[in-house]
Structure 1
Amino acid sequence: MELTLTRIAKRKTYTIGHLAIDDKPFCDTLEPTWRDIGWGRKGRKVAGRTAIPEGRYPVVVTFSPKFQKWLPLLIHVPLFTGIRIHAGNTANDTEGCILVGQNLKPGMVLNSNIWTHRLVKAITEARGRDEAIWINVR
């Protein structure tokens, strides 16, 4: 399974994107502010307030002690640890993670719990078919 997160609005305090599964539109995303911190670049990471670098990362579903539920976890993200895909509505609900939902209001995603549940279900089903799960962030 290939998840693709395409960032479409990089604002001062948040980043909005579209998430697709195997090239099929799935939902919207919200992340903290995007800063160009890739290797060799001059931007700097602000702890808890920076979207992850663009790239392709493996995804697993593990139990989150913080959220007390099974959630997707991105592996091998440069300069970051513990990056999950989870429910939330605004940039204040994330410290670098990806929030999923519907971008029905500026700077927000709504119906986030529903979309998180649908995503975990889709990933779990793909793993049941022995598929590797990847996310391409661009």
Structure 2
Amino acid sequence: MELILTRVCKNKDYTEGRIEIDGTPFCDTLEPTWRDVGWGHRGRKVEGRTAIPEGRYPVVITRSPRFGEWLPLLLHVPLFEGIRIHAGNSVHDTAGCILVGCRRKPGLLLDSRLWVYRLKRKIVEAKARGEGVWIVVK
């Protein structure tokens, strides 16, 4: 299964995007400010307040010590560790991670817990079919 996160708005306070699953629209996303911190770039990473670099990353579900629940985790993100997809409503909830939900107005998501549940269910179903799960961030 392949998740495609397309960033549609990058501003100084947050980054908005949309996720498709295998080409079908799924939900909206919210991340911290995007800074070009990839290899060979001049951007400066600000801990917990920088969106991850564009790329393709494997996704697994593991228990988050911070949240105390099972959540999607992105693996092998350059310069970053512990990047999760989790619930939250505003950029203040991201801690550097990807929030999912339904965009209500700029910089605000609603029904985030519902969308995390739906996403976890899709990932678990794909893994049960023996599929790898990847996210492409662009």
For the aligned residue pairs, the C-alpha RMSD in angstroms reads 0.5
What's the counterpart of residue 23 of structure 2?
Answer: 23
- After TM superposition, the runs of 4+ consecutive aligned structure 1 residues lying more than 3 A away are none
Residues of 1 paired with 2:62 and 2:104: CA distance?
29
Q: Which runs of structure 2 are paired with 1:71-82 in the superposition (5 Å)? A: 71-82=71-82
Q: Normalized per residue, which structure has more strand? A: 2
TM-score, reference length from structure 1: 0.99
Q: Which runs of structure 2 are paired with 1:33-112 in the superposition (5 Å)? A: 33-112=33-112
Instruction: Compute the displacement of 1:24 (Å).
Output: 0.5
Residues of 1 paired with 2:53 and 2:109: CA distance?
21
Unaligned stretches of 5+ residues in structure 2: none
Residues 82-116 of structure 1, C-alpha deviation per residue, up to 9 Å, x if partnerless? 00000000110011100000111111111100000
Unaligned stretches of 5+ residues in structure 1: none
Identical residues among aligned pairs (%): 66
Residues 58-85 of structure 1, C-alpha deviation per residue, up to 9 Å, x if partnerless? 0000011111111000000000000000
Residues of 2 paired with 1:124 and 1:46: CA distance?
32
